[in-house]
Amino acid sequence: MHVQLLIAPWCTSCHRAQEIWQRVCERHGMTLEILDLETLAGEETAGRLHLKIMPAVLFDGQPRAIGVQSEDEAEALLSREIGAGR
């Protein structure tokens, strides 16, 4: 599974989300890809998915959560997705 976090560099909530998702992904041996809204890849992803609120969590290119999740919420979300993929 590919985990991405779409962020805006000026967004303080995005920085909190990045720290949380980084820890959760590391616990599962996964790499978190950061998509910066101010880059072409980030802009194209947000446009393709019609995302206007940051941060946004994507699993395999599909939005799964918007906003900042607690570490427990992020853990539960990722665990559910991993379990669903088996």
Q: What is the pLDDT along the chain (86 residues), one digit of tens a residue?
A: 999 999 999 999 999 999 999 999 999 999 999 999 999 999 999 999 999 999 999 999 999 999 999 999 999 999 999 888 65
Q: Measured at the alpha carbon of residue 19, what is the angle toward residues 56 and 59, in degrees to the nearest 5?
A: 35
Q: Round to whole Å and give the CA distance between 31 and 33.
A: 6
What pLDDT is recorded for position 12?
95
The span from the first CA to the last CA of the chain, in angstroms, equals 11
| pTM for the whole structure | 0.92
- CA dihedral (65, 23, 54, 73) positive or negative: positive
Could you name the CATH architecture of 3-84? Answer: 3-Layer(aba) Sandwich (3.40)
What pLDDT is recorded for position 16?
97
Ramachandran assignment for 60, one of left (phi > 0), alpha (psi -120 to 50 degrees), beta (any other): left
Q: Round to whole Å and give the CA distance between 86 and 81.
A: 9
